[in-house]
Amino acid sequence: MSGADLIQLIVSGLTVGGIYALISVGFVTIYNVNGVINFAQGEFVMVGAMSAASLVSAGCPLWLACIISILVAAAIGAIVQKIALHPARFSSEVVLIIITIGISTALRGIAQITFGSNPLTLPAFLAGEPVRLLGAYVPRQDFFIVGITVITMVLLYLFFEKTMTGSALRACMMNREVSRLVGISPNRMALLAFGLGAALAGIVGVSIAPVSLATYDMGMMIGLKGFVAATIGGLVNIPGAVIGGLLLGLAESLGAGLISSGYKDAIAFLILLLVLVFRPQGIVGAKSGKRV
């Protein structure tokens, strides 16, 4: 395996890692505000991807289709939160998890009817041959994915740190009861967080559809991987989620390339197990006495 090949592995790994990072950021946002592990996160990615693909094949210009799809994903996230999660907000975690599972199942079925069972594709944002970088070939779409991830992170940072709503959301993520005391409505925040998480997923969907194609059942595995990334990062903060995502992508790529491709998925979940056993607060998280 030459140096160029190794770099190729690293570059692919980082790109996939960026995807996982975005998904896990959505997860972490929802988890910290709504208190629910959202099993439907992958389906929101799917909604974004499939909507964009269908719109484009119906003749809509690419940039418009992307924006509409992200809004569609956010809207569906908001609707789902309002009708399914809000009424059950006092239920136990298990019940909430099962509700999100039911939502993911329903979304998959709706997608199959609306979009059909055939895979769909989106044209690449920048047409052209892959670019040579340090001996590795990087498809142009990957630059977009990385770029979009970075821009989204920056926007999220500005949102959380510099805006009122963002700060309110952050407060809610840290402590719901106390934020209520200062007048932040937890219900509004829950709705916002879910919509935001879904929008982030929609962005992922739209970015990866050109390279990974879109099928109505793409959500499950992608959601799980984002999940694993979030856990590696500690489930408590956004930078952790991003780091978790990048690490996961790298580990998968290097593992598949250097060790064994059959066990590639196993690598991701073995890492999950190792992190949970030895460092459950995640690579980035602070040690919390989360035992009782």
Partner 1 sequence: MRLCKKLGFWLSLAFVASLLGCGNATIQTEGKTHKIGVDLELTGGSSVWGVPQKNAIEMLVKEINEKGGINGIPIELVVYDNESNETQALIVAKKAVEQDQVLALIGGGTTPTTMPIIPYVTQQKVPIVSVGSGDGITSPVNEREWVFKTPSNNQDIAKSIVSFLKQKGKTSVAFLSMNNAYGESGKNAFEALAAEQGITIIASEKFGAGDKDMKPQLTNIKAKNPDAIIVWAIPPSASIVNRNFWELKMNQMLIYSAGAGANAFIDLAGKDAAEGTYIASGKVWVAEQLESNDPQQGLLTKYVKDYESSFQTGVSPIDGMAYDAALLVTKAIEMSGENVSRQSIRDNLEKIQGLVGATGIFNMSPDDHTGLKPEDVIILQVQNSKWAIAK
Partner 2 sequence: MERIVQVHKPAAIGVRRWGLLLVGIIVAAALPLLLNSYLTSVLVIIGIYCITTVGVSLLMGFAGLVSLAQAAFWGVGAYVTGVMAVSFGISPWLGILLGMLISGLLAYGLGWITRNLNGHYFSLATLGFGIVLNIVLIEESEWTGGSSGLMGIPGLSLGSIPLSGDSAWYYFVWAIAALCLFFCKNLVRSGWGRNLRSMHASQAASESMGIHTGEYRLKAFVISALFAGLSGGLYACYMSFVSPAVFNFDMSIKFVIMAVLGGLVSIWGSLVGVVVVTLLVEVLRQYVPLLLHNSSSGGAIEVIFFGVLLVAIMVYLPNGIMGIFHKRTSNLRVSAK
Provide the minimum distance between the beta carbon of 37 and partner 2 in the complex, in angstroms, as a whole number. Answer: 6
Provide the minimum distance between the beta carbon of 178 and partner 2 in the complex, in angstroms, as a whole number. Answer: 12
Residue closer to partner 2 (CB basis): 57 or 187: 187
User: In what helix (H) or strand (E) does residue 132 lie, and over which residues does it extend?
Assistant: strand 131-133
Q: Is residue 213 part of the contact set for partner 1 (CB under 8 A)? A: yes
CA distance 200 to 107: 17
Rg (Cα) of the chain, in Å, rounded?
Answer: 19
Secondary structure (3-state) at 163: coil
Question: Which residue shows structure tokens 């809610």?
Answer: 172
∠ CA(168), CA(172), CA(174), 5° rounding? 120
Among 14, 235, 251, 256, binds partner 2 (CB under 8 A): 235
Provide the minimum distance between the beta carbon of 40 and partner 1 in the complex, in angstroms, as a whole number. Answer: 16
Provide the minimum distance between the beta carbon of 199 and partner 1 in the complex, in angstroms, as a whole number. Answer: 21
Among 87, 130, 135, 147, binds partner 2 (CB under 8 A): 87
Binding mask 33-52 for partner 2 (x = CB under 8 A): --x-x---------------
Provide the minimum distance between the beta carbon of 230 and partner 2 in the complex, in angstroms, as a whole number. Answer: 10
Query: What is the sign of the dihedral through the CA atoms of 68, 70, 73 and 77?
Result: negative
Q: Is residue 62 part of the contact set for partner 1 (CB under 8 A)? A: no
Q: Is residue 65 part of the contact set for partner 1 (CB under 8 A)? A: no
280 binds, among partner 2, partner 1, none (CB under 5 to 8 A by kind): partner 2
CA distance 206 to 221: 17
The window from 7-15, 106-114, 150-158, 206-214 that contacts partner 2 (CB under 8 A) reads: 106-114
DSSP-derived secondary structure for 14-32: HHHHHHHHHHHHHHHHHHH
DSSP-derived secondary structure for 208-244: HHHHH-B-TT-HHHHHHHHHHHHHHHTSS-HHHHHHH
Among 109, 130, 135, 147, binds partner 2 (CB under 8 A): 109
Q: Is 87 left (phi over 0), alpha (psi -120 to 50) or beta?
A: alpha
Provide the minimum distance between the beta carbon of 193 and partner 1 in the complex, in angstroms, as a whole number. Answer: 26
Question: Which residue shows structure tokens 């239920």?
Answer: 91
253 binds, among partner 2, partner 1, none (CB under 5 to 8 A by kind): partner 1
Secondary structure (3-state) at 123: coil
The structure tokens listed for 123 are: 């044209």
The window from 50-58, 61-69, 191-199, 223-231 that contacts partner 2 (CB under 8 A) reads: 223-231
User: In what helix (H) or strand (E) does residue 136 lie, and over which residues does it extend?
Assistant: strand 136-138
Binding residues (CB under 8 A) for partner 1: these are: 1-2, 5, 8-9, 12-13, 15-16, 19, 109, 112, 116-119, 121, 124, 129-130, 137, 139, 208, 211-213, 215, 217-218, 220-222, 252-254, 256-257, 261-262, 264-265
